[in-house]
Homo-oligomer: A and B are copies of this chain.
Amino acid sequence: MAARKTIERQTGVALWRQIADRVRLAISNGDYDATGMVPPETALAREFGVNRHTVRSALAALAEEGLVRAVQGRGTLIERKDRVTYPISRRTRFSAGLGRQVKEIGSQLLAHREVQASGEVAAALALPPGAAVVELQSVSSGDGRPLSATIAYFPAGRFPEMAQLYARLGSITKAFAAQGLDDYVRVSTEIVARHADAEELKLLKLSAGAIVIEALSVNADVEGRPVEYSRTRFAADRMKFRIET
C-alpha cells in the first residue's frame, strides 16, 4: 500500500469526492474484504497524499450513503458492498433479472398521463407523430435503495390502462399480460454515461457528482411491433450491467 494513488487537483472535483469515489469502488471490488473495514484514516491520507481531514470528509460522504459506519476506537466498518448486476438480453425484465440479488424489489409510480408523442417517441414506437401515448414515471429500488428512474411510453390505443395496472401490479410485465400481451422482447438498447442532474440526484438519492447510466430502449411484441419506449436512468455506482448476446 506504499504506492501513492494519484488524484487530480484543481479540476473542479474536490479531493474528498475523488477519494470517496475511489474508496467506494475499492469496497465494491472487495479490496477490503479481509478485514471488513476501510483502512485507517491516517493510512488513506498517506496513500492519497492528502490531509487526514480530507479523508474524513470522503468517509463522511460514504457514511451518509450508508456504505460505511465509523466506530470510534475501532475503525470504519463496511456496511454494504454490493453492486447489483442488471442483465440486458432479448428477454430483459427488470424484476426477473434482479430476482435473486435483492430480497425486496420496490416499484413506485410517480406520475402518469396521456400525451401526444414527440418526434423521438413516435419514431421509436413506430407511431404517427402526435399519436396518443401513455407516459409513466417511476422509480425502482432494491432492498430500499433506489436503483433506477424511468420514463416509459406506451401506445395509448393498445394499452389504455397501462398506468392503473402498473400501479396495482407493480410490474410492466404483469401490466402487459393483463392487457393481453403475453410476451415481448428487447429490440434495442442505447447507453450513455454522464453525471446526474439535480432531479436524478433527488429521485435516486445520490450524492452529487454521481454518475448515471441512461438507457434508451425499445421493447416489441413477437410480431415486431413496438410496445414500449423507455428512458431509464440507473444509479451507476450501485449497478453493473451484463450484456448477453
- Interface residues of chain A, those whose CB is within 8 Å of chain B, are 5-8, 11-14, 16-18, 20-22, 25, 57, 61, 83, 85, 88-90, 92, 185-195, 197-199, 201, 207-209, 211, 213, 236-237, 240-245
Apart from A12-B208, A188-B244, A195-B211, what are 18 other A-B pairs with CB-CB below 8 Å?
Answer: A6-B197, A8-B198, A8-B208, A13-B13, A13-B195, A13-B208, A85-B190, A88-B243, A88-B245, A188-B243, A190-B243, A191-B191, A192-B240, A193-B211, A193-B213, A194-B211, A209-B209, A211-B211
Of the A-B pairs whose beta carbons lie under 8 Å apart in the complex, a sample of 22, sorted by A's number, is A6-B198, A7-B197, A8-B208, A12-B208, A13-B14, A13-B17, A18-B195, A21-B195, A185-B245, A188-B244, A189-B242, A189-B245, A190-B240, A190-B242, A190-B243, A191-B241, A191-B242, A192-B240, A193-B236, A194-B237, A195-B211, A244-B245
- Shortest C-beta distance, A23 to chain B (Å), equals 12
- Shortest C-beta distance, A96 to chain B (Å), equals 15
- Shortest C-beta distance, A163 to chain B (Å), equals 26
- Shortest C-beta distance, A53 to chain B (Å), equals 14
CA distance A61 to B176 in the complex (A): 47
CA distance A20 to B209 in the complex (A): 13
CA distance A244 to B243 in the complex (A): 10
CA distance A11 to B83 in the complex (A): 23
Q: Which 6 pairs between the two chains have the least Cβ-Cβ distance?
A: A11-B208, A12-B17, A6-B198, A13-B209, A12-B14, A8-B208
Neighbouring B residues of A245 by C-beta, 8 Å: 88-90, 92, 185-189, 244-245
Question: Are A236 and B18 in contact (CB-based, < 8 A)?
Answer: no
CA distance A243 to B242 in the complex (A): 11
- Shortest C-beta distance, A155 to chain B (Å), equals 22
Question: Are B6 and A17 in contact (CB-based, < 8 A)?
Answer: no
CA distance A6 to B199 in the complex (A): 8
